């Protein structure tokens, strides 16, 4: 069943999960306790990978995941891109699966199933992404960090320093900023499927390949009737695994 989507807020447990990806989870949670409207830069590869897609194609992928598939993990919109949070290792495996799909259909006279798939940016180990603020409200009560990070050393002062410039969708692996660094707030930065537990389900590369192929198929269908409201979808997270 298709559902509508609006911006949603991260729960305290979801904030703890996001913060656990950084080097100093306690400092990130403390920052969000004071500034819940602050986006931050977090590393990929250990807690999650991120697949970044153009906004319209990313929405089609999200529709396929929720209408016909198992649902999605957390999903954010940032600077015209859709950030689909995925299981660690997805960033390394998904490009190979897409290439295999493309190669497998080259002997056919028909277009391959991935011809309509735009370039997907896969962020894994060594990369970092800017994640939207956990809340648009003025307060957020954050819980203690998970046990796995409870013994983390106190963050140095620069880990909660003022915002630094970042790229639109990722940080160069060669010079990543400190994990938990704040990033400039953007009006188009929001959570569409916000993390709400300390262990959210995350799709793997096979699931995202499936969604990309089906989104590509839907992209080539021509309709004379434009969608009524492309910003009116919200996903029933109770279906999430």
pLDDT confidence of 37, banded at 50, 70, 90? very high
C-alpha distance across the termini of the chain, in Å: 16
User: Among 173, 189, 142, 151, which Cα is nearest to 28's?
Assistant: 142
The helix/strand/coil state of 165 is coil
100 within 8 A of 213, measured Cβ to Cβ: no
CA atoms of 209 and 204, how far apart (whole Å) = 9
Asked if pLDDT for residue 163 goes beyond 50, the answer is no
Q: Tell me the pLDDT tens digit for each residue of 63-110.
A: 999 999 999 999 999 999 999 999 999 999 999 999 888 765 555 444
CA atoms of 124 and 120, how far apart (whole Å) = 13
Please count the helices (runs of H) and the strands (runs of E) in the chain. 5, 9
Asked if pLDDT for residue 181 goes beyond 80, the answer is no
Asked if pLDDT for residue 153 goes beyond 60, the answer is no
Beta bridge partners of 52: 83, 121
Residue 155 pLDDT = 42
CA atoms of 157 and 27, how far apart (whole Å) = 9
Residue 217 pLDDT = 87
User: Among 69, 217, 50, 207, which Cα is nearest to 131's?
Assistant: 50
User: Among 91, 168, 156, which Cα is nearest to 129's?
Assistant: 168
Asked if pLDDT for residue 154 goes beyond 50, the answer is no
Percent of the chain with pLDDT strictly greater than 90: 55
Asked if pLDDT for residue 203 goes beyond 70, the answer is yes
145 within 8 A of 152, measured Cβ to Cβ: yes
CA atoms of 2 and 192, how far apart (whole Å) = 15
Stretch 3-31: mean pLDDT:
88
pLDDT confidence of 5, banded at 50, 70, 90? low
Residue 241 pLDDT = 56
Q: Token digits for 159?
A: 């880990």
């Amino acid at each position: 069943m298709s559902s509508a989507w609006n911006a949603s807020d991260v729960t305290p447990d979801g904030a703890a999960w996001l913060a656990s990806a950084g080097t100093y989870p306690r400092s990130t949670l403390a920052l969000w306790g004071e500034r819940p409207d602050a986006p931050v830069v977090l590393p990929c590869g250990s807690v999650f990978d991120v697949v970044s897609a153009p906004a319209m194609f990313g929405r089609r992928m999200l529709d396929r995941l929720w209408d016909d598939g198992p649902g999605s993990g957390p999903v954010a919109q940032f600077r015209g891109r859709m950030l689909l949070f995925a299981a660690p290792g997805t960033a390394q495996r998904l490009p190979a699966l897409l290439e295999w799909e493309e190669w497998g259909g080259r002997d056919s006279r028909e277009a391959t199933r991935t011809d309509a798939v735009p370039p997907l940016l896969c962020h894994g180990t060594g990369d970092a992404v800017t994640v939207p603020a956990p809340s648009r409200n003025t307060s957020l009560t954050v819980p203690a960090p998970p046990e796995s990070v409870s013994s983390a050393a106190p963050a140095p002062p620069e880990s909660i320093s003022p915002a630094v410039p970042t790229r639109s969708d990722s940080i160069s692996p060669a010079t990543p900023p400190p994990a938990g660094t704040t990033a400039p707030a953007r009006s188009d930065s929001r959570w569409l499927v916000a993390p709400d537990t300390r262990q959210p389900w995350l799709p793997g590369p096979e699931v995202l390949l499936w969604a990309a192929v089906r989104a590509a198929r839907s992209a080539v269908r021509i309709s004379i009737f434009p969608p009524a409201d492309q910003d009116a979808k919200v996903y029933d997270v109770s279906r999430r695994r």
